[in-house]
A and B are shown apart, each in its own frame.
Chain A
Amino acid sequence: DTGVSQNPRHKITKRGQNVTFRCDPISEHNRLYWYRQTLGQGPEFLTYFQNEAQLEKSRLLSDRFSAERPKGSFSTLEIQRTEQGDSAMYLCASTKGGQANEKLFFGSGTQLSVL
């Protein structure tokens, strides 16, 4: 257990529905990342926060995706009008932030299946 908690672990939804995932990082960590991973591929960067500010978003993050980190603590990732191509593992990671050589602590991920 790395200390990064993600909920739910699994989510099955029908195409067109909205889903929301939650990530609770390690308490003293200021930086929080979201990654997406499909079968047989490495994790792909989606976005990251420094405290409550969203500092970078990947082009992979379409308009249907939105991430928030109110008060710089937990974060949520919402996908609107889900599509079958959104089926993937969504991973959250955290780190203290601010240095060039920090290691990321990953949660166990949320596995999304869109039917």
Chain B
Amino acid sequence: DAKTTQPPSMDCAEGRAANLPCNHSTISGNEYVYWYRQIHSQGPQYIIHGLKNNETNEMASLIITEDRKSSTLILPHATLRDTAVYYCIGGSGNKLVFGAGTILRVKS
């Protein structure tokens, strides 16, 4: 599984877009980029994943650079309930290896 690097914490104003970066320079061609988040005292929650193309769903958008060495998770209109730890994971198939993630604090 690819090693990922994320900033330890970020702040975002409520209602603004939250852009969470992730570096995964060692990702291999068949490994996906996954994003999960974990709200305090709960299990991780799937957000989105992608291979090469940018992806969008009801929760977020995922922008992957052309060389696939980095990506950005975008929460278009952050709310207080988006305060959580966000994990970027490079992997495929059998298991996902989590790092320490980014603590996102959404402030009013």
Contacts and interface: CB of A to CB of B under 8 A. Distances in A.
Contacts of B96: 45, 104
Interface in A85-111: 91, 93, 99-101, 103-109
Contact of B100 (A2, A42, A100): A42
Given A33-B95, A101-B32, A42 B87 contact: yes
Interface in A1-22: 2, 4
B95 A100 contact: no
B99 interface: yes
Interface residues of B, number: 24
A101 B91 CA distance: 9
28 contacts: A2-B43, A4-B43, A40-B100, A42-B98, A42-B100, A43-B44, A43-B98, A44-B98, A45-B95, A48-B94, A55-B94, A91-B44, A93-B43, A93-B44, A99-B93, A100-B32, A100-B92, A100-B93, A101-B32, A101-B49, A101-B92, A103-B46, A104-B96, A105-B46, A106-B43, A108-B41, A108-B42, A108-B43
